Structure 1
């Protein structure tokens, strides 16, 4: 059994979103991304499918030249290689589920 919390030990960074690996299972990695208003993740794509949950706050999620307004409780799943970007509208906690074989260092590079 593995346990973790999306709200314990929150960290904020003024210059970029804060990335924390919450847990790793046999099949996935659960990552917390803490955004402050106006922080963003520029357009990128992933080598494996992902699932994003807006746990708290609001973001604009750009995909296929569309902009989705995602808020607390919303989920979105993307296949591999789909370009997307995120812009924080209201301070947010985002849960990102990636494949176990995906590197968290890649997520850190996107927010640098």
Structure 2
């Protein structure tokens, strides 16, 4: 068994969303993205389907140019190759579930841009 916590040792980056791989298993990856209010991840897409959970806070989640405000407890899924962007409306913790073939580095690169 492998365990991880979305809330232990949360570190926010003042300049960009903070990315941390919590689990890397045979079937997928679980990533925590910690946003300070106002931080964004510019429009990007992934080649694989994803699932996003808003664990804390609220996010404006743009999909194909249409903005959806999502709140603590909300889940959403996207197929691969769908353009999307995120903006934190307040300090937020987002859980991102990735396909095993996807990489955490890709997510980190999006957060840096």
State the TM bucket, normalised to the shorter chain.
over 0.9
Confirm whether residue 71 of structure 1 aligns to residue 71 of structure 2. Answer: yes
How many equivalent pairs are there?
A: 112
Higher strand share: 1
Q: Secondary structure at the match of 2:90?
A: strand
The 10-residue stretch of structure 1 (58-67 or 30-39) with the greater mean CA deviation from structure 2 = 58-67
Q: State the 1:101 CA deviation.
A: 1.3
Stretches of structure 2 lacking an aligned partner (at least 5 in a row): none
RMSD over aligned Cα atoms? 0.6
Match of 2:82 in 1: 82
Distance in structure 1 (CA, Å) of the matches to 2:65 and 2:34: 25
**TM-score with structure 2 length normalisation?**
0.97
Match of 1:7 in 2: 7
Q: State the 1:65 CA deviation.
A: 2.3
Q: State the 1:64 CA deviation.
A: 2.2
Give per-residue Cα distances to partners, 1:25-76, cap 9 Å, x unaligned.
2111000000000000000000100000000000000012211000000011
Distance in structure 1 (CA, Å) of the matches to 2:22 and 2:29: 8
Match of 2:20 in 1: 20
Stretches of structure 1 lacking an aligned partner (at least 5 in a row): none
